[in-house]
Amino acid sequence: MYPLTYVDGYRIPIREEVYVLDIIPLTAGPATISSDQKLSLFNPTNLKAGPQLNLLTQHGNITCAKAYDAGNAVICTAGEDGSVSMWDLRNDPRRADVARLTDNPVSVSSLACSDAGYSVVVGTELQDHQASIIIWDVRSNSAPVLHYKEVHSDDVTELNFHPSNHNILLSGSTDGLVNICDIRIADEDEVIIQTFNHDASIHHAGFLNDTEVYALSHDEKLALYDMAENHQNGAATTDFGDMRQVLGCQYIANVTTKLNGAGAVIGAGAHDQQAFELIHMRKGQGWNLDRDGSVGLPGAHSSEIVRSFCFDDKAQTVFSAGEDGFIKAWRPNA
């Protein structure tokens, strides 16, 4: 394992316990959402100076955020009250909130955006025996253009658009299913074009490339599936099993797909050891974990859980965020 060095950081300076919930990598620098209901943007070379932009969201409790546009200037946030806000981070803070999508009263548990398809999508928690996937066209941001009520039977915990087709949407749920949907189809009986049964509550799921997807359960089971025609039975093509046993960790924070198609990175933590490790998942003859080439963040976020991590490849920096209220920057030794 190759250790990185902690070079910079910032902690939210308030007395009560505040979690940094997620990091969203943007062109301008890392953005974070935190449990004090803030959306913050940081200078990637000077975290300790504090947020360059610090916006108070209005969702009750904020739950998720995603970049909307390829230029990474607009970000969407959503939360407990069911609404979605769109923020243009180039604007003055008083004018940063550029759109608010409503007509959903149910708490949002997942979010996806596609500027190619002018789409913002939320997945909701289960309420009144119904969990929804709701889609807005931001060119007419009043009422949703689609509302699926039967795609999942429990909380919709993950949404991701296909990397090259903005009409294809992946959804994951605590019902154990990962569904691939064609959102050009309004009929709920026809919208699902493929289903993978992970047989455990979905924590994270996403596309690895044009045909392969991963699914990670809340009990840390990881498996890969393939949409290609020669894998139509829906069974896992690679089943890694319980990652706590495979990696000797206590939790998986997330799986981050590499944008160049060179696999993915698994973030694995052990809070009682104050450890966090980044393990590359590569594809050769099959998918394999590169344990020898793993990268460590020594000390991590002390004994607190690491919630999120992301990369700035140009600056050779890893950013991490955790339940200690910190965002941290890590780099190789000079």
- For residue range 280-334, list pLDDT tens digits in order: 999 988 899 999 999 999 999 999 999 999 998 888 899 999 999 999 999 998 6
In a domain, 36, yes or no: yes
In a domain, 268, yes or no: no
In a domain, 195, yes or no: yes
Task: Give the residue numbers spanning the domain of 183.
Answer: 14-246
**Alpha-carbon distance 116 to 158, whole Å?**
20
In a domain, 197, yes or no: yes
> Which of 237, 230, 256 is CA-nearest to residue 196?
237
Q: DSSP alpha helices (H): ranges in the chain?
A: 243-247
Backbone angles phi, psi at 100, to 5 degrees: -135, 120
Give the CATH number of the domain where residue 78 resides. Answer: 2.130.10.10
In a domain, 236, yes or no: yes
In a domain, 272, yes or no: no
What is the per-residue pLDDT across 33-90, written as a single tens digit (0 to 9) for each?
Answer: 999 999 999 999 999 999 999 999 999 999 999 999 867 789 999 999 999 999 999 9
Mean pLDDT of 217-235: 89
In a domain, 19, yes or no: yes
- Stated pTM of the model: 0.95
In a domain, 126, yes or no: yes
CA atoms within 13 A on the CB side of 180: 23
**How many structural domains are present in the chain?**
1
Mean pLDDT of 16-35: 94
Mean pLDDT of 82-102: 93
Do the beta carbons of residue 4 and residue 331 sit within 8 Å?
Answer: yes
